[in-house]
A = this chain, B = another copy of it.
Amino acid sequence: MFSLSEENYLKAIFHLETAYKGGVSTNALAEEMQTKASSVTDMVKRLSDKDLVNYKKYQGVKLSDAGKDAAIEVIRKHRLWEVFLVDKLNFNWDEVHEVAEQLEHIKSEKLTNELDKFLEYPKRDPHGDPIPDAQGNFAVANRALLSDLKKGETGICVGVKDSSAEFLQYLDKNKISLGKEIKVLEKEDFDQSMIIKMDRNELMISNLISANLFIKTT
């Protein structure tokens, strides 16, 4: 089994690998883990000794197959617990992250699989991210960013790229939620800001917002 810290590193490497493809640099990992580069080098060596990552000095890290499996298992647990918190315990989607960060490290295969069953095998977490199944298979997201839509196009809001409490609270305040149809009424060339229509409301949003909303085009 892996330590809490090891699991967090594996998860971080996984996220960085998928976000940017290819090896993950020491500094990028340090930034993601909110720690120092020298601490990262230390840990990366330990993970390498355990064959969870492939590491060569000055060349960044990549997850091994075993490392990837471990990372996906942690992500599976994280997302399942998020669903539990929102669907069963009245948490809002902006309150789940911190608690799920703790719950994702609980070690019990039976717990994970029974929780999955109890929640009726959810496919996505409250932020629209796919939940790996017990075999580690992901539903690959077929989605674009709202910022990529052109004037006049429509789509259904299916996920958030930034799931910080601040962003989610902005969305709540403006009644933007997953499953809603969004139409781009206007798009400003200069700053990429948009006027969008949801339900019967029109709303002006900046590029920082639209570039963090995943859309399934209709």
Q: Write out, one digit per residue, whether chain A residues 180-203 have a CB within 8 A of any chain B CB (1) or not (0).
A: 000000000000000000000000
Interface residues of A (CB under 8 A from B): 85, 88-91, 95, 98-99, 102-103, 106-108, 110-111, 114-115, 118
Q: Contact check, A106 vs B95: say whether CB atoms are below 8 A apart.
A: no
Residues on the B chain within 8 Å of A89, using CB: 111, 114-115, 118
Give the number of copies in the complex: 2
Cross-interface CB contact of A108 among B99, B107, B110, B115, cutoff 8 Å: B99
Residues on the B chain within 8 Å of A111, using CB: 85, 89, 99
Complex CA–CA separation, A115 to B99 (angstroms): 13
Q: Contact check, B114 vs A106: say whether CB atoms are below 8 A apart.
A: no
Q: Contact check, B110 vs A106: say whether CB atoms are below 8 A apart.
A: no
Cross-interface CB contact of A90 among B90, B91, B108, B114, cutoff 8 Å: B114
Q: Contact check, B91 vs A114: say whether CB atoms are below 8 A apart.
A: yes
Nearest 8 pairs of A and B residues by beta carbon: A89-B114, A99-B108, A102-B106, A99-B111, A90-B114, A89-B118, A88-B118, A103-B106
Residues on the B chain within 8 Å of A98, using CB: 108
